[in-house]
Amino acid sequence: MNLLSVSNLHVNFHMKERELAALIDVSFTLNRGERIAIVGESGAGKSVLGFSIVNLIGKPGYIHSGSIKLEDKELTSMNARQLQAIRGKRIAMIFQDPMMTLNPVLTIGDQLVEAIRNHTKISYKDARSIAIEKLHHVQIASPEKRFDQYPHELSGGMRQRVIIASVLLLNPDIIIADEPTTALDVTIQAEILQLLLAICRDNGVALVLISHDLGVVSKVAERTLVMYAGQIVEEGPTLEIINDPQHPYTQGLLNALPQMTLPGQRLNQIQGSMPSLAERPSGCAFHPRCPYATQKCKQQQPDFIYSGVSSVACFLVEDMLNEFADHDQEAQ
C-alpha cells in the first residue's frame, strides 16, 4: 500500500465574485521513505498543495473534491481533532520562515519540551534530555546552552535546525518541506539540505520537498512533479526530468537557468508569466506561453501519457510519440 495517495484532488478558493480553482485534478503517490519534489514557478500552486495534504488549507480555500489517503485513512473526511493527531505525529511541515513555527516569546528548550509532552506523558527532566539529544542530532553545537535561548538569539540556519529537531521528536512518516532553505545563504543551505536528507534516509522518513531551485531538487529528490497553473504537467524520476524534460514548460524552466547559456549571453526566458487563478487560459493552461501551441491546445486539455518512465500532459509529446510508434511499425 502507498504511504500517501492523493487522487483527483480539486482545491478551490471561494471568492466573492466567483469560485476560483487553485488545484485541478492533482494525483500522485508517495511510498514509505521516498523523497519527491514539487517544482514550478511562483503561483503554480505548490504551497496550496503542500497545505492541502495536511488539510491545512485556510479560508477562503477548501478541498472541493478528491481523496487524500494516508495508508487506508481518508484525511479529507477527518474532523479537526483527528487531523491534529495526524499533523506533527505522522505528517510534519517545515516552512521557509522558521519563525512561522517558532514562538518568539518561549525559549527553544521550552518549545521542544512542550511538543514532547503534548504527545507523551513524561517528566520535564526526561523531556529535556530528549530535546537536548535531538538538538545534538541536528548538529547544534553546545545544545545545553542553546536550550535556554530564544529564537531571535539564533541565526537563520540554526533556527531551521531547531525546526528539524522538533519535527524529529515525533518520528513522523512524512515531512513536507516548503522552500526550507530559500531564506538561507548557500553554504548553510547545503548543510541544512544534507541534514534533512540524512535524517530522512536514516529514519526512513518520506519527504515532499517544495522548491523552485532545480539544483536543490536534483540533490535531494528521487522523483519530481512539475506544476503549472494548479496542475501537474510532468512527473518522473528527477534525473529523467532534468536530462530529458518532455513538457515544453519543464524544458522552459531548465533552459532559463544561467548555466544553460554561455556566460554573458542573453538567458532563455519563458515568454509571458504564470496566469492568475482568475485568468486561467482554456485548453492546455500553458498554451499562451508555449512555442509549440496549436489550435487544439487552446481548446482541449491534454491527458497524461507515458513517455518512458515519465508521464506528461502535452499534445505535442503525444503526437510525437504516436508518430514514432507509426514509424516503428512501418519499419517492422
Partner 1 sequence: MPTPLIQISGLEKAFPTNESWLGQWRFQHGKLKRRKDSVHALNGVNLTINQGETLCVVGETGCGKSTLARVIMGLTQPSAGEIHYLDQRIDQLNNRQRMVFRRRMQMVFQNPYASLNPRMTVYQTLSEPISFHNPQLSTSQVDEQIDALLESVGISASSSDRYPHEFSGGQRQRISLARALSVEPDFIVADEPLSALDVSVQAQVLNLMMDKQEERNLSYLFITHDLAVVEHFATRVAVMYLGRVCELAPTRTLFSAPKHPYTKALLSAIPRLDTNTAQPIRLIGEVPTPINKPVGCVFQARCPYANQRCYEQSPAMMMQGDASSVACHAIEEGRL
Ligand X SMILES: Nc1ncnc2c1ncn2[C@@H]1O[C@H](COP(=O)(O)OP(=O)(O)OP(=O)(O)O)[C@@H](O)[C@H]1O
Interacting residue ranges for partner 1, rule: CB under 8 A: 41-43, 141, 155-158, 184-191, 193-194, 212-216, 218-219, 238-239, 242, 252-253, 256-259, 261, 263-264, 266-270, 273-274
Beta carbon of residue 252, minimum distance to ligand SF4 (angstroms, whole number): 9
Residue among 62 and 292 whose Cβ is closer to ligand SF4? 292
Contact (CB, 8 A) for 140 and 166? no
Say if strands 310-313 and 231-237 run parallel, antiparallel, or are unpaired: antiparallel
Question: Of 111 and 231, which CB lies nearer to ligand X in the complex structure?
Answer: 231
Kindly tell me which of 58 and 263 has the beta carbon lying closer to partner 1.
Answer: 263
Look up residue 269 and give its DSSP letter: P
Q: Binds 48, which of Mg ion, partner 1, ligand X, none (CB < 5 to 8 A, cut-off by type)?
A: ligand X
Q: How far is CA 199 from CA 46, 62, 156, 172, 194, in A?
A: 23, 32, 19, 11, 8
Pairing between strand 304-307 and 206-210? unpaired
User: Does residue 42 bind ligand X (CB under 6 A)?
Assistant: yes
Judge whether 86 and 92 are in contact, CB under 8 Å.
Answer: no
Residue 45: which of Mg ion, ligand SF4, ligand X, none does it interact with, CB under 5 to 8 A by kind? ligand X
What's the min distance (Å) between Cβ of 283 and ligand SF4? 7
**3-class DSSP state of 308:** coil
Q: Which cell numbers in the block locate residue 226? A: 512539475
Residues 138-197 that bind ligand X (CB under 6 A): 185
DSSP helix, strand, coil percent of the chain (3-state; round to 5): 40, 25, 35
CA distance 199 to 177: 13
Q: Which is nearer to ligand SF4, 214 or 284 (CB)?
A: 284
Q: Which residues bind ligand X (CB under 6 A)?
A: 13, 22, 40, 42-48, 60-61, 185, 212, 276-277
